[in-house]
Amino acid sequence: MRPGLYIHVPFCAAKCAYCDFYSLRRPADMERWTEAVITEYALRAPHYLPDPSVGWNTLYIGGGTPSSLPLPLLSRLMASLSGIHRLEEATIEANPEDVTPRWLEAVAGLGFNRVSMGIQSFDDAQLSDVGRRHDSATARRALTYLAGSGLDFSADLIYGLPGQSLESWQHSLRALLDFSPSHFSAYHLSYEPGTRLYARLQAGKVTEASDSLVADMYALLTDEASRRGYLHYEISNFALPGHEAIHNSSYWDYRPYLGLGPGAHSFSGTARASNPPHLSRYLSALLASDPALPLEVEEESAAELVNDLIITALRTSRGLSLTRLSAVATPAQFDVILSEARKLAASGLLLLTDTSIVIPERNFLLSDHILRSLILES
């Protein structure tokens, strides 16, 4: 199983009100960040890919805003990565304001075959309310460029935004799907502690979309996606047949990946590790004359490893393979989980077959509740 490679670009021109990804407004540090990532790659890649001729399976440059990275730095970074000659998929994330024909041509020339773009909404008032820097006209222009670029592309939308009606959600969804992306993601807005939107919620300045509105938005989403031929293959992800995101699927399929950059996570196949989300510490550790890794290894108990498998696998439409579960869980743990799954299946929340446990599409919105019942105490 060839591993994936993820690189976290921790720079954004400004912070969106709902975002809890690690990103900063420090463009002056981009050059030093590039050098630090190159050093981190040299130190860690041999542990994940001992023989570079085998090659990484996928590359995903995410953030933050990778499209804000100047092209000479992106080009320097790509030139320093060994083992990217056999990539099944090479994705770079972009914001609509950065997508131009010149940029698309440049990233294609660097070996990327897929762009993932954050649009979130086609309503200008909603975009400005959550601090996005593009408007709907910019998003349409970027989608037009992408559609003519020959690159595969995906785009993100959010439903349940403050003030968003069912009609407005339908408008955004249809506006995106009219560009026929091969893949798209639709996220239910979550109010994450520490974000500006969460503070506004706490101060009573915005209200959360009601459960019934969210349920209607979700029903509209799944109907529209299915009518247009998309497969709902993961809670928030939809793809035309054959266009499922290969890199992101490795997270849900429990496959190994190396994550570089501050805030990036890695999974060796048996253990997880992460770089603290702290750019200054990351730069000083890796740019020192004797570079060190700022890495923190996450010690997981046996129960946590099983829970990891349950949580990641049940996000997908394929669900959790019982063979896989029995390989990771002890017989006693397996019995506890199966007995809980039988109860959930009896109440219609789960599908339980001889080979797998699956959350049906109609219940994806209830997945937090279902997972809480299934996971083991750790």
* By CB under 6 A, residue 221 contacts ligand SF4: no
For residue 201, count CB atoms less than 10 angstroms from its CB and return exposed for 0-12, middle for 13-18, buried for 19 or more.
Answer: middle
For residue 59, give the DSSP letter: E
15 binds ligand SF4 per the rule CB under 6 A: yes
**Alpha-carbon gap, residue 118 to 292, rounded angstroms:** 34
Closer by beta carbon to ligand SF4, 194 or else 242: 194
Among 45, 59, 61, 63, binds ligand SF4 (CB under 6 A): 63
Question: Which residues pair with residue 312 across a beta bridge?
Answer: none
Q: How far is the CB of 149 from ligand SF4 (least distance, A)?
A: 21
Helix-strand-coil split of the chain, %, nearest 5: 45, 20, 40
Q: How far is the CB of 307 from ligand SF4 (least distance, A)?
A: 27
Q: How far is Cα 45 from Cα 162, in angstroms, rounded to an integer?
A: 43
Q: What is the C-alpha separation between 65 and 116, in angstroms, rounded? A: 11
Q: Does 19 bind ligand SF4 (CB under 6 A)?
A: yes
Is the CB of 22 or the CB of 252 nearer to ligand SF4? 22
Which lies closer to ligand SF4 via its Cβ, residue 127 or residue 329? 127
Pick from 2, 21, 149, 351: which binds ligand SF4 (CB under 6 A)? 21
Which of 57, 95, 116, 248: binder of ligand SF4 (CB under 6 A)?
Answer: 95
3-state SS class at 260: strand
- Closest approach of ligand SF4 to the CB of residue 231, in Å: 26
Q: Which of 3, 58, 59, 64 lies at the binding interface for ligand SF4 (CB under 6 A)?
A: 64
Residue with tokens 């590790």: 273
242 secondary structure, DSSP code: T
CA distance 86 to 105: 20
Contact segment (CB under 6 A) with ligand SF4 among 18-26, 42-50, 212-220, 250-258 equals 18-26
Stretch that binds ligand SF4, among 60-68, 81-89, 281-289, 317-325 (CB under 6 A): 60-68
Q: Residue 249 corresponds to which tokens in the numbers above?
A: 């699927």
For 181, 231, 252, the CA distances from 222, given in Å and listed in that order, are 16, 9, 20
Q: Pick from 65, 116, 138, 237: which binds ligand SF4 (CB under 6 A)?
A: 65
Among 16, 104, 314, 359, binds ligand SF4 (CB under 6 A): 16
- The least distance separating ligand SF4 from the CB of residue 120, rounded to whole angstroms, comes to 8
3-state DSSP assignment of residue 41: helix
Q: In sequence order, what DSSP letters do the residues of 263-277 get, joined into one string?
A: T-EEE-SS-EEE--S
| Of residues 118-147, those binding ligand SF4 (CB under 6 A) | 118
Residue 62 — φ and ψ, nearest 5°? -125, -175
Rounded CA gap, 272 and 102, in Å? 38
Please work out the total of residues on this chain that contact ligand SF4, with binding judged by CB under 6 A. Answer: 11
**Minimum distance from residue 30 beta carbon to ligand SF4 (Å):** 14
Asked if omega into 163 is within 30° of 0 (cis), the reply is no
- Regarding 309 and contact with ligand SF4 (CB under 6 A), the answer is no
Could you tell me how many residues make up the chain? 378
CB of 9 to ligand SF4, least distance (A): 9
CA pair distance 63, 12, nearest whole angstrom: 8
State in angstroms the smallest separation of the CB of 248 from ligand SF4: 16
Q: State whether residue 311 is helix, strand or coil.
A: helix
Stretch that binds ligand SF4, among 17-25, 136-144, 169-177, 243-251 (CB under 6 A): 17-25
Nearer to ligand SF4, 132 or 183 (CB): 132
Amino acid at 117: M
Is 198 one of the binding residues for ligand SF4 (CB under 6 A)? no
Instruction: Identify which of residues 65 and 356 has a Cβ nearer to ligand SF4 in the complex.
Output: 65
Residues engaged in binding ligand SF4 (CB under 6 A): 12, 15-16, 19, 21, 23, 63-65, 95, 118
